[in-house]
Amino acid sequence: MNVIEIINKKKNKMELTIKEIEFVIQGYLKDTIPDYQISALLMAVWFNGMNNNELANLTEIMARSGKIVNLSAIPGKKVDKHSTGGVGDKTTIALLPMVAAAGLSVPKISGRGLGHTGGTIDKLESISGFKTDLTIDRFIEIVKEIHCSIISTNFDLAPADKKLYALRDVTGTIDSIPLIASSIMSKKIAGGADALVLNVTFGSGAFLRKYMDAIQLGKEMVHIGENNHKQTYIVVSSMDQPLGFAVGNSLELQEAISLLNNQGPEDLMEICLFIGSIMLIAGGIVKQQKDGIEILKEVIENGQAFDKLKEMVKRQGGDQRQIENPELLPKSKYKDDIYSDFKGYIHKIDARSIGEASMLLGAGREQKNSTIDLSVGIILKKKKGDSVKKGEILATLHYNDHDKFEKVHDKVKSAFDIRNKKPAYKPLIVALIDRYGVRKPNLS
């Protein structure tokens, strides 16, 4: 087989066979095909896309390039949850204990954050002693005991994706829908769960800016999932302002704990109940979404979801006292407020700018190996649609370094778009996609 012929085929919009895809991926992993030829092929895919056959084959080959986690020792249906990411997205931390308290087993393998969005693993590492590099055997044992555990990808999970992703990152080929779909789904398939619930976000703080791209990505991931005999649901939601009020590792963890104490922000609660109820359907715990929502509200109200987080923290070596008393979590040395120069209504809070500002304060990584400051970040005091007076607080910055504060002050202030008229309401959750197609969310 000849790699130049394969590149030319894709360049001329022809379908690649499973053998050709396998040849390319194996050749790249073994270093017999160089970066520059793979880059050319990725760019041809960027322009010409991939059909459903190619997509299914590429994903499966990437998934099988490493270990496929065997979760069969855990009884019942195992459901995985994933988000394409966003600013202030602490959903996983709140959601896992909720659905686990409702009886669903959720073995969650998560990544660290890069760029303007934070990673679940980083947020959880705000808890002293919390270990995320458990062995797969210990991970499975914990899920068997308490229904949930979260570990980092500390083993060869879809190594072909890891290598390709690094190349896409430097060749302008990240934003290709088939390449994103196969990248995410290869890791989900290798993760071994029976069913998948994926939150695809769109808007300024998300990976994809446009609604139609989010729908397209969702459809492609459903196709790949179902093809691999994994029931797959996609929840499409908007990320045109940060989720909740807190952005930054320890601050986000505290907000997730508040939600489990039934004091969480409305938007975070809405998305947790929606995704959680779909997970309960996927796991066969309930048949209808409204029943799932009822159970999830109940486990928050009776404290079982909060207790579940404490159990998970204890089993993973973390200090439970910090969950009971979040004041004990890492705290920045300084706090300062940002004030509004205008009176009016908040029309928009540019999520990307807030995410970047939080990263510049030290909460996120600019490079893969950067160290992060778990204590810093931003607490929003206003959200879209709120009225604001001149001189009122828009946000509070938590920081440890005065130079960094100076750098981000104006960026945070200008992320707030304040106008005279109240903005029109736009829903947070806009679509649900499964094997039957795309539909508007309907809880009745």
Residues found near ligand URA in the complex (CB under 6 A): 84, 165, 179-180, 183-184, 207
- The phi and psi torsions of 315 (rounded to 5 degrees) equal -65, -25
CB nearer ligand URA, residue 110 or residue 227 = 110
Segment holding 322, helix H or strand E: helix 321-324
The CA distance from 188 to 222, in Å, is 12
Residue 421 tokens read as: 């008229």
Instruction: Name the residue type at position 270.
Output: E
Segment holding 223, helix H or strand E: helix 211-227
CB nearer ligand URA, residue 10 or residue 168 = 168
Residue 176 tokens read as: 């290709």
Residue with tokens 């959750």, as numbered in its chain: 429
The CA distance from 38 to 167, in Å, is 8
CB nearer ligand URA, residue 56 or residue 184 = 184
The CA distance from 374 to 247, in Å, is 11
Shortest reach from residue 84's CB to ligand URA, in Å: 6
Shortest reach from residue 345's CB to ligand URA, in Å: 33
Shortest reach from residue 180's CB to ligand URA, in Å: 4
Q: Which residues pair with 419 in a beta bridge?
A: 345
CB nearer ligand URA, residue 180 or residue 378 = 180
Q: Indicate which residues carry an active-site annotation.
A: 82, 161, 168, 183, 187
Shortest reach from residue 184's CB to ligand URA, in Å: 5
CB nearer ligand URA, residue 108 or residue 382 = 108
Neighbour tally for 219: CB within 10 Å = 17
CB nearer ligand URA, residue 133 or residue 169 = 169
Shortest reach from residue 76's CB to ligand URA, in Å: 27
The CA distance from 54 to 50, in Å, is 6
Query: Residues with Cβ < 8 Å from 120, sequence gap 6 or more?
Result: 90, 92, 93, 108, 110, 111, 150
Instruction: Name the residue type at position 43.
Output: M
**Listed residue (369, 352, 358) closest to 332, CA to CA:** 358
Shortest reach from residue 53's CB to ligand URA, in Å: 20
Residue with tokens 């997205």, as numbered in its chain: 89
CB nearer ligand URA, residue 7 or residue 180 = 180
Residue 80 DSSP label? E
Shortest reach from residue 15's CB to ligand URA, in Å: 22
Contact 253, 53 (CB under 8 A): no
Shortest reach from residue 341's CB to ligand URA, in Å: 37
Residue 339 tokens read as: 């004030």
Instruction: Name the residue type at position 203.
Output: G
Query: Residues with Cβ < 8 Å from 416, sequence gap 6 or more?
Result: 340, 346, 348, 349, 382, 394, 395
Neighbour tally for 150: CB within 10 Å = 22
CB nearer ligand URA, residue 84 or residue 316 = 84
